[in-house]
Amino acid sequence: MVANEEQLKSELILDELKRRERSKEVVDVEEERVKVVIFICGEKRYAFYGTDIREILPTCEISWVPCLPEHLPGLINVRGDIESVIDIRHFLRETKSDHGKCLIAMAVRGDFHSGVMIDSIEDVVDIPRSTISPPLATLSGDARDLVVGEFEYGGETISLLDVGKLAALITL
């Protein structure tokens, strides 16, 4: 009788192990991720898609050019290439800071190449694409024209900006 009970227990254990093994056969699908560059501009955090940012330049001299609009403070020399600089604070309605203390994010999308003034880099991270939600309908002004989505990072909602939309605003 003891042998039957032990055989029954071992069969139950084997059945349970087989059931667990079958439940592991569910395929884990890796969710698509996108790289984002999180930066601080004024009082808030924003982000660009990582594919749109070629490099981050340290503070450099911006050469003033007469008759440029307020959102274009001038030009910079990047290893022999002359690039325009965009003060994105103008479009985001953020407080302006000293140009001499800003970093320059070199944005590239198609034929558009330009430096974008930012205060500092917060992080470069890969996030699941599904965590990016549509922008709030309550956004107003030019900022609404730049924001393509929002995601949570560090307990804060970060607005994801589109370099293509920025290029469209500049070339109007």
Task: Give 28-42 pLDDT, tens digit per residue.
Answer: 567 899 999 999 998
* pLDDT top residue among 9 and 145: 145
Residue 10 scores a pLDDT above 80:
no
Query: Can you give the pLDDT at residue 156?
Result: 92
By DSSP bridging, strand 53-57 and strand 81-87 are unpaired
Whether the CB-CB separation of 122 and 145 falls below 8 Å is answered with no
Q: Please report the domains of the chain, with CATH numbers, ordered by start residue.
A: 33-170 (2.40.50.180)
For position 133, what pLDDT does the model report?
92
The pLDDT value recorded for residue 30 is: 76
Average pLDDT over the chain, rounded to an integer: 85
pLDDT band of residue 86 (cuts 50, 70, 90) is very high
Q: Rounded mean pLDDT of 129-152?
A: 83
CA distance 6 to 170: 79
Provide mean pLDDT across the span 78-101: 83
pLDDT at residue number 26: 54
How far apart (Å, rounded) are the C-alpha atoms in residues 96 and 44?
Answer: 13
Greater pLDDT, 147 or 21: 147
Q: d(Cα 155, Cα 112) in Å, to the nearest integer? A: 33
Question: Which amino acid is present at 98?
Answer: D
Quick one: pLDDT at residue 5?
Answer: 64
Tell me the pairing of strands 81-87 and 112-118: parallel
Separation CA 141–CA 170 (nearest Å): 15
Q: What is the pLDDT of residue 51?
A: 95
On the question of pLDDT at 1 being above 60, the answer is no
Q: What average pLDDT does this structure show over 49-59?
A: 93
DSSP letters for the chain: -HHHHHHHHHHHHHHHHHHHHHHTTSPPPPPPEEEEEEEEETTEEEEEEGGGEEEEEPS-PPBP-TT--TT--EEEEETTEEEEEEETHHHHTPPP--GGG-EEEEEEETTEEEEEEESEEEEEEEEEGGG-BPPPTT--HHHHHHEEEEEEETTEEEEEE-HHHHHHHHT-
